[in-house]
Amino acid sequence: MAALILALLTAPANADDCADPIGVIQSAEVDAVNFYLNDAETGLAKAVDAIGCSDKVDAETVARLWQTRGMVHMLKEDDAEALRAFAASKRADASVWNEDYGDKAKELWSAAASESGEPLELGLRGVSEGDWVLLDGHESSSELDLTPGLYLLQVGHADAARFARVVEISGSDDLVVSVPGRDGQTMAMADTQVAAKARSGPRLAPLVGAGVAAIVAGGATFMASQERKAFFEGGQFNAAESAAHYRKTNTYTIIGIGAGAASVGLVTVSIAF
């Protein structure tokens, strides 16, 4: 069976510069509850980066990460992705639930189940003797058979991780992840035609501009902040209203930044994972 090989050009982070994953996840949880969805998504990506240079992550922490991702997708009215994230949370640790996420999120979490499908092989290259491998916070090996779904992979040696990645198992092809060696060196390669892929969280498209771009973008951001302030001062609101508000404030920001960047001529677009 064909295999997708993914490798990353990276080096282990200095332990002194490594953020606390639990603290980063806590911040993302607060952002999700308060409907700061972009901030929550950015926080989750930072949490994965922090797990890649921290101590061994436990299953409870991974469950909280997946739950927060599920909450964000629910508020964005993407219940299918919310269910996938909640299923990953339950697989990591089914005893963990954040009551602040409310009844609707808990209903989705309760209904979430692992995806059906034939198990696919996840192989790891670059794992040396003495290294440890954790999958969703549980001890694992470098050769795994996994059913479709989302997984958090962490690899390290002794007391520190050197690699963490969100891995999505899908399609019908096996997946090989090339892990940086202890010297931190790998070559980047990927076959983007294969459905199985590794994802590390959102990657925001860089929008480059200067001069008038800054003015336009600044004005758009101010309008979005005023809209947000008015929304939260309005009293009670439900998930549907929060989603509509999220789209409205994002429209202000995206149009403003896009117009500003285009006015001086350079917009570089990348895929947001």
Domain annotation covers residue 181: yes
What distances in angstroms separate CA 188 from CA 6, 163, 259, one per listed residue? 7, 15, 34
On whether the CB atoms of residues 168 and 153 are closer than 8 A, the answer is no
Domain annotation covers residue 192: yes
pLDDT, tens digit (0-9, with 9 covering 90-100), for 77-93: 999 999 999 999 999 99
Plot region of 201 (φ>0 → left; ψ -120 to 50 → alpha; else → beta): left
Same domain? 183 vs 232: no
pLDDT of res. 107: 96
Same domain? 131 vs 260: no
User: What is the pTM (predicted TM-score) of this model?
Assistant: 0.66
Same domain? 47 vs 178: yes
On whether the CB atoms of residues 163 and 115 are closer than 8 A, the answer is no
Same domain? 129 vs 51: yes
Domain annotation covers residue 172: yes
Quick one: which H or E segment has residue 146? Answer: strand 143-146
Q: Which tokens hold the place of 70?
A: 């599920």
Same domain? 29 vs 128: yes
Q: What's the rounded Cα separation, in Å, for the pair 20 and 13?
A: 13
Same domain? 135 vs 59: yes
Domain annotation covers residue 272: no
- Centre a 10 Å sphere on the Cβ of residue 99 and count the other Cβ atoms it contains: 8
Same domain? 98 vs 180: yes
pLDDT, tens digit (0-9, with 9 covering 90-100), for 146-199: 989 999 999 999 989 999 999 998 877 778 888 988 776 543 333 222 333 433
Lowest mean pLDDT, pick from 27-41, 117-131, 135-149, 235-249: 235-249
Which position has the higher pLDDT, 68 or 235?
A: 68
Which position has the higher pLDDT, 237 or 244?
A: 244
Domain annotation covers residue 273: no
Which position has the higher pLDDT, 162 or 230?
A: 162
Domain boundaries, position 130: 3-199
Residue type, 244: A
On whether the CB atoms of residues 63 and 89 are closer than 8 A, the answer is yes
Quick one: which H or E segment has residue 209? Answer: none
Q: What's the rounded Cα separation, in Å, for the pair 64 and 98?
A: 8
Q: At which of 181, 199, 217 does a domain end?
A: 199
- Centre a 10 Å sphere on the Cβ of residue 227 and count the other Cβ atoms it contains: 16
The chain-wide mean pLDDT, for the chain, equals: 75
Q: How many domains does the chain have?
A: 2
Same domain? 212 vs 118: no
Same domain? 145 vs 250: no
Confidence grade of residue 242 (pLDDT, cut at 50, 70, 90): low
Same domain? 45 vs 133: yes
Domain annotation covers residue 69: yes
Q: What's the rounded Cα separation, in Å, for the pair 35 and 76?
A: 10
Q: At which of 180, 199, 218 does a domain end?
A: 199
Query: What is the residue whose two structure tokens read 């003797």?
Result: 129
Which position has the higher pLDDT, 86 or 126?
A: 86
Same domain? 179 vs 257: no
Q: At which of 156, 179, 199 does a domain end?
A: 199
pLDDT of res. 117: 81
Same domain? 63 vs 20: yes
pLDDT of res. 45: 97
Angle between helices 59-75 and 102-111 (to 10 degrees): 110
